[in-house]
Structure 1
Amino acid sequence: MGKYLYGASVQGIQEFIFKTNKLREIVGASEMVKEICEEKFFEVSGGITKPENLILAAAGNIKCLFDEDEKKKLEEVVKLFPKMVMEYAPGITISQAVVKFDGKISEALQDLEMALKIQRNKAAMPLETGYMALNRARRTGGVLYKNIKIKKDVHEDVELSTKRKYDKFNDRDNKNLLFKDLAGEGNFDPKMLSNDMADINVGSNNKWVAVVHADGNGLGNIIQNIGDQLTDSNKFHEFSKAIDNSTKEALQYAFRIVIENDKRCFEESQKKGETKNKDYQYPIRPAVIGGDDVTIIIRADLALDFTKMFLKKFEEISKNNFEVFKLKELDNGLSACAGIAFVKESYPLHYALHLAEELCKDAKKMVKKEDLPKLGNDGSQMPRSSLAFFKVQDSYVESLEQMKKRIKYASASTIDYDYGPYLINKCESRENIPHIGELEAKLDVLKDQQTEKSKGVSKLRHLVSETFKSKDTSKFMYERMKTVNDKFIEALKLPENIFDERQKDQKGNTIPVKSILLDLIQIHSFK
């Protein structure tokens, strides 16, 4: 007897969540997206008869098996689910497809993905039609729906989707479900949640925030390889649940280590009278948590530590959670890559998210290189975990490659400051590959220099700036620092060849020297 493989992909999630920089709207939109996959689908389908038939329902993606005798139920889902979603969350559309199969599910999954790609290219008719005579919401440009209370003594004319986001934000019954995934049930105080972008930086000396996007490595290939085995043993749903649990447990570990430590530091400063703020507010808000996908907004100085902790723990926890399946392909667990976009809190967050996603792809591209050893020593094809970051210091909106070329390449000195991405764990057989331990060791050196009268950090910042203007002047400054700040330069373990004559490639182009200095200075500036 054949089966039907149903797939649905929620389109426009990021645009829906990050349409504005209002944190209350972002939080409400995030909760709505979570509810679409975890509740709305089941309302339409009338519940899943067999739990093992649910393959995936997270982060805007749904895949579910329907038996032959459930064809009418499937037809109702296909008919009603898109309408329900578009009415519930105006601005979001659903692409869906169905594949009938009686062979291997791995082949059916490939066919489903192809069908979904075709459906995504078809334009969806929005439920709201903005005729010229209709009034508009001034801030978002949508069709005006209602004047609502945003917060105390603040009212605004808003469109329908904004109204729904605020309704969800103020919904006491379902509020903070996403934060529970981040911190764990009962492990946070709802009164300490940040509700405005300015709250993220309460207690900080700067106005920088980070948008972090993390995504698992090679999950599609794993499912192609073991999908049939999981289906035959009715464990596909358990596998999806194991991935989801691994993500949440790793996030909760990072929350305990990084955020709770920040809270303790705040309380100590409060006792010493070093801060004017009376109440602590969590410097983090999750936007997407589902499957192996994570998107969060976090205070800039905590972003690197939090992301590192999450990625490292995700490997460990997924490896433990996959032991029950007893499959060779899962022996090393899952790894993940992340991108961190450092921006001012007023910077458009949808641009920051796009940059974080591009950085994540950049990190994935590096770890998938054939000459970089994979996880484990058993011929595993699982790439290593890594992260990449970028600090946006102007208002230009360009591709990542263009920004790197403009900001990280010192043509005057032929120095390339695009040093990363960084491996989370050092690759012993390839010590020349940048890793997070190398960055942290050098950051500790800079931290120790903060109290020194020689002002080594300030001189280093000046040196980097000068390399963009003149090679001779920067070389003189470097030699001078090696004399005056000899212990500092020695501790940094900078390469001796940074100002030597450059080699040329086969085409006669000068090969630039890679340097970690700009990354060091930028991360140090947040501390």
Structure 2
Amino acid sequence: MTEYLITAEADKIQDLIFRSSKLKEIIGGSELLRNFCNSTVPILIGEFNGQEIASGGGTIFATFPTENYANQFRELLAELYRQELNSTLTMIKPTNFNQDALKRAHYLLKKQKLSGNPPTSVIQTPFFEVCSSCGVGIASKQVRLEGETIMLCNSCYEKNKMGGEAIGNFLGKFKEVLNRRGTLNENPFIIDIDEFSEKTDKNGYIAYLLADGNDMGAVFHACDTVEKVKTLSSTLENIIYESLAIPTTLLMDNQDFNDFIPILPLIIGGDDLFSVIPAAWVLDFTRRFIRQYEKKMGSVFEEIQIDQSITPPNLSASVVICKSTFPYRIAHQIGEELLNTAKKISKSNGDSAISFMLISGSLSSNIEKDREEMFVMNYPAFSITQISNLIEDRYELRSFSQTKRIRLKKLYEKAKNLNFQEMESSWYEKLSRFLTRLPREIATKLENSLRKFGDPNRAGYWERIEDKYYNGVTQLIDVWNFCCDLEKSPNEYITG
């Protein structure tokens, strides 16, 4: 009996979720998408006698007994998605379901997304009020929030309503995972960013973590049976939750966060993550999260027999460290750019990668644009081993004074405007003089760091990558207060 495959994928999920201006609505938007995929879609598939293959994270695979049923499902799915989420889906026409159907569906879906959707008419009216939250949709609901009466579009209204329910559903699921690890799930999440920073950082900093599995399209493409696709799809989100739970438990056990859960996941969809993390431990948190993801995903790959030499189970992540007053929508945009950089590095070396940025002062001074300088201070992304070195050396150099750190960074900043001749005539000598003036123990440890974060065999410890030279020790100085070890107490970093 011939079956027909329907494949669909949500368009611009990040834009959909971040279209609202309230943090509660961001969480609600993530829950709204999750609820649509996990509840609405399976019911709709059943209405047309279909069989669900996967429907998580905004990607939908289902088969139907007739082409007519498949087309009816496709049309109704698009309309329901538009009504409930005020957004669009990319879908391919029904195809015969056979051994190669899933691989071909991935190819056609990617091709369709790259070519774009055909133009569609938009709702028009001569008199309307724009949504007070997203500023895009047409307002249709009057609500009272925080003592003020405002008008919301249907999408933002549903997100706001769903935001409250998400505490019991989307975030509640994470509590369940924590509870299985022996952590009390009665502790609340802190939804307000300012309150979160007050409880986790005395200087008002927070950190945003973005993560995304590498080459997941290729991974799904390697699944040659429906059972493999189902297994992979059903375990992705659980792997994210479980990988988050381990460093979260360390935070709660070792850093005196006993009365609340010290992270706030905003988006968890498939292998995608966007979460608020206490700034001081964010790099170690990210490192441990990635290692757990690799371990757990590797076990799934073994179960469904995916060749890890071709598609290794790794992940790219980005970290944005900023004041709590910094707009989270802009932080997310910066994080996406950093994540793309990490993905490129990860693809070239076949390992997980982390790209990070500290935003302090004006934004323009933090975003490093394309430069003509030969000597560049910052690596575009770090491997997990390099992040481990960063955390280890931060502890080993805990007695390296702030004044000396600032002098070292200024010395490296001067190198950006020099050529080889100028470096050889003066800069190398200045670095050597700086090291000899430090206490011997600190000088030895700092020189070891310079070797780790550059080329130990090159003068000045600069590592050549293509036509530029790098040393990452200045990044250690930049994130000095944000690369603490989760297993060490803050008192262990205090020196006499």
- The residue correspondences of 1:89-128 to structure 2 (distance < 5 A) are 89-90=85-86, 92-101=87-96, 102-114=98-110, 116-117=112-113, 120-126=116-122, 128=123
Contact 2:27 2:163 (8 Å CA) reproduced = yes
- Quick one: structure 1 residues 177 and 460, their matched pair in 2 at CA, closer, same or farther if it must change by over 3 Å? farther
| 2:359 equivalent to 1:392 | yes
Post-superposition offset of 1:31: 0.9
Task: Determine helix, strand or coil for the equivalent of 1:63.
Answer: strand
Q: Name the structure 2 match of 1:403.
A: 367
Distance across 2 between alignment mates of 1:464 and 1:48:
65
Post-superposition offset of 1:221: 2.4
Identity over the aligned pairs, expressed in percent?
A: 20
- Quick one: structure 1 residues 366 and 29, their matched pair in 2 at CA, closer, same or farther if it must change by over 3 Å? same
Which residue type is aligned with residue 294 of structure 1? L
Q: Name the structure 1 match of 2:75.
A: 79
Q: Name the structure 2 match of 1:482.
A: 435
Post-superposition offset of 1:70: 4.4
Post-superposition offset of 1:491: 0.3
Which residue type is aligned with residue 192 of structure 1? P
Task: Determine helix, strand or coil for the equivalent of 2:249.
Answer: helix
Post-superposition offset of 1:307: 1.4
Which residue type is aligned with residue 437 of structure 2? V
Distance across 2 between alignment mates of 1:445 and 1:418:
21
Task: Determine helix, strand or coil for the equivalent of 1:58.
Answer: coil
Distance across 1 between alignment mates of 2:47 and 2:244:
29
Contact 2:24 2:191 (8 Å CA) reproduced = yes
Contact 2:90 2:109 (8 Å CA) reproduced = no
| 2:289 equivalent to 1:310 | yes
Task: Determine helix, strand or coil for the equivalent of 2:351.
Answer: coil
Task: Determine helix, strand or coil for the equivalent of 1:184.
Answer: helix
Q: Name the structure 2 match of 1:521.
A: 477
Q: How many residue pairs end up in the alignment?
A: 463
Q: Name the structure 2 match of 1:165.
A: 159
- The residue correspondences of 1:427-438 to structure 2 (distance < 5 A) are 435-438=386-389
- The residue correspondences of 1:250-399 to structure 2 (distance < 5 A) are 250-258=243-251, 260-261=252-253, 264-266=255-257, 280-326=259-305, 328-329=307-308, 334-369=313-348, 372=349, 383-393=350-360, 396=363
Post-superposition offset of 1:304: 1.3
Deviations along 1:316-373, one digit per CA (max 9) or x if unpaired, are 112233443355558996221112223333333333223322322222222322xx4x
Distance across 1 between alignment mates of 2:304 and 2:462:
56
Contact 1:322 1:330 (8 Å CA) reproduced = no
Q: Name the structure 2 match of 1:416.
A: 376
Which residue type is aligned with residue 171 of structure 2? F
Contact 2:197 2:278 (8 Å CA) reproduced = yes
Contact 1:337 1:386 (8 Å CA) reproduced = yes
Task: Determine helix, strand or coil for the equivalent of 1:2.
Answer: coil
Distance across 1 between alignment mates of 2:77 and 2:465:
59
Post-superposition offset of 1:155: 4.1
Contact 2:21 2:134 (8 Å CA) reproduced = no
Unaligned runs of 5+ in 2: 485-496
Could you tell me the TM-score, scaled by structure 2's length? 0.80
Task: Determine helix, strand or coil for the equivalent of 2:198.
Answer: coil
Contact 1:149 1:155 (8 Å CA) reproduced = yes
1:209 to 203, 206, 214: 206
Distance across 1 between alignment mates of 2:470 and 2:219:
35
Q: Name the structure 2 match of 1:244.
A: 237
Which residue type is aligned with residue 317 of structure 1? K
Distance across 2 between alignment mates of 1:10 and 1:461:
45
- Quick one: structure 1 residues 49 and 191, their matched pair in 2 at CA, closer, same or farther if it must change by over 3 Å? farther
Q: Name the structure 1 match of 2:60.
A: 62
Which residue type is aligned with residue 79 of structure 2? K
Distance across 2 between alignment mates of 1:517 and 1:491:
12
- Quick one: structure 1 residues 498 and 331, their matched pair in 2 at CA, closer, same or farther if it must change by over 3 Å? closer
Unaligned runs of 5+ in 1: 268-279, 373-382, 427-434, 506-510
Post-superposition offset of 1:30: 1.3
- The residue correspondences of 1:479-518 to structure 2 (distance < 5 A) are 479-485=432-438, 486-492=440-446, 493=448, 494-495=450-451, 499=460, 512-518=468-474
Distance across 1 between alignment mates of 2:411 and 2:210:
32
Task: Determine helix, strand or coil for the equivalent of 1:387.
Answer: strand
| 2:188 equivalent to 1:221 | no
Distance across 2 between alignment mates of 1:524 and 1:328:
39
Contact 1:4 1:98 (8 Å CA) reproduced = no
Deviations along 1:54-94, one digit per CA (max 9) or x if unpaired, are 3332222112233xx2444423321211221222223x222
Distance across 1 between alignment mates of 2:159 and 2:213:
28
Which residue type is aligned with residue 242 of structure 1? T
Deviations along 1:35-55, one digit per CA (max 9) or x if unpaired, are 1211121232236967xx533
Q: Name the structure 1 match of 2:489.
A: none
Which residue type is aligned with residue 100 of structure 1? T
Q: Name the structure 1 match of 2:492.
A: none
Distance across 1 between alignment mates of 2:465 and 2:240:
45
Distance across 1 between alignment mates of 2:427 and 2:481:
21
Post-superposition offset of 1:14: 1.0
Could you tell me the TM-score, scaled by structure 1's length? 0.76
| 2:177 equivalent to 1:177 | no
Task: Determine helix, strand or coil for the equivalent of 1:347.
Answer: coil
Contact 2:7 2:105 (8 Å CA) reproduced = no
Contact 1:5 1:108 (8 Å CA) reproduced = no
Task: Determine helix, strand or coil for the equivalent of 2:190.
Answer: coil
Q: CA RMSD in A?
A: 3.6
Distance across 2 between alignment mates of 1:21 and 1:342:
20
Which residue type is aligned with residue 220 of structure 1? G
Which residue type is aligned with residue 447 of structure 1? R
Deviations along 1:99-154, one digit per CA (max 9) or x if unpaired, are 4124522542244324532674324444x5464x3233455424333442323x34
Deviations along 1:192-238, one digit per CA (max 9) or x if unpaired, are 2122221321221233333322122233223333x32x23xx44312
Distance across 2 between alignment mates of 1:98 and 1:80:
14
Deviations along 1:252-310, one digit per CA (max 9) or x if unpaired, are 2232223x236x5245xxxxxxxxxxxx4434222322322222232322321221111
Deviations along 1:462-492, one digit per CA (max 9) or x if unpaired, are 5455556788897676444313314323202
- Quick one: structure 1 residues 441 and 111, their matched pair in 2 at CA, closer, same or farther if it must change by over 3 Å? closer
Q: Name the structure 2 match of 1:192.
A: 188
Contact 2:321 2:357 (8 Å CA) reproduced = yes
| Structure 1, 348-357 or 473-482: larger mean CA deviation | 473-482
Post-superposition offset of 1:520: 0.6
- Quick one: structure 1 residues 306 and 475, their matched pair in 2 at CA, closer, same or farther if it must change by over 3 Å? same
